[in-house]
Amino acid sequence: MLETYTISDLGVSLNTGDSVVFNTNNVDSCCKITHVAGTPVVSITRPGYYVVEFNATGYNTGAASTVDSSDGTFSFQLYNNGIAIPNAQARATSIADTAIANISFQTIVQVKPSCPMVNNNASLEVKFLGQAGTLLAGTLTIFRVS
């Protein structure tokens, strides 16, 4: 199991497409899941099924509009090897620092066996999809289920 998080009293500014940087590894109890504190990528190097859960608190700082659906949303998406994972996204409408949003998603990621010719390791990254936002806290927890 790995639990990594970032917390900032002043908040971390994010723009569209920015990755969440996890500063602290709170629990790191297996060698199958690796993360270097202060980086955004979490790697899974062994085959199996893994539950991935993300929780975040913060707010969107971009003005809401009807032109772009990402405007006015505090939204995050999980990516595996640069590809968005379907249904691993959470969003809330939040257009001011007084409208703090709490969001979360949970999904299962399958890591297939690798061979010398094919690397199936997972490189997981959480990206911000809103126009501009402030992340107050974010936690990523991953554990192997089989």
66-112 pLDDT, tens digit per residue, is 445 555 688 999 999 999 999 999 999 876 667 889 999 999 999 99
Under 8 Å between Cβ of 63 and 71: yes
- Residue 51's domain is classified under what CATH number? 2.60.120.40
The distance from CA 50 to its chain's CA centroid, rounded to whole angstroms, is 15
Measure the CA angle with vertex 83, ends 77 and 89; round to 5°.
20
Is the pTM for the entire model greater than 0.85?
A: yes
**CB pairs under 8 A, 24+ apart, for 70-73?**
70/16, 70/129, 70/130, 70/131, 71/130, 71/131, 72/130, 72/131, 73/129, 73/130, 73/131
Under 8 Å between Cβ of 76 and 89: yes
Rounded distance, CA 45 to CA 32, Å? Answer: 5
Query: Which has the higher per-residue pLDDT, 32 or 18?
Result: 18
Range of the domain at 84: 2-144
Rounded distance, CA 111 to CA 66, Å? Answer: 39
Number of domains the chain contains: 1
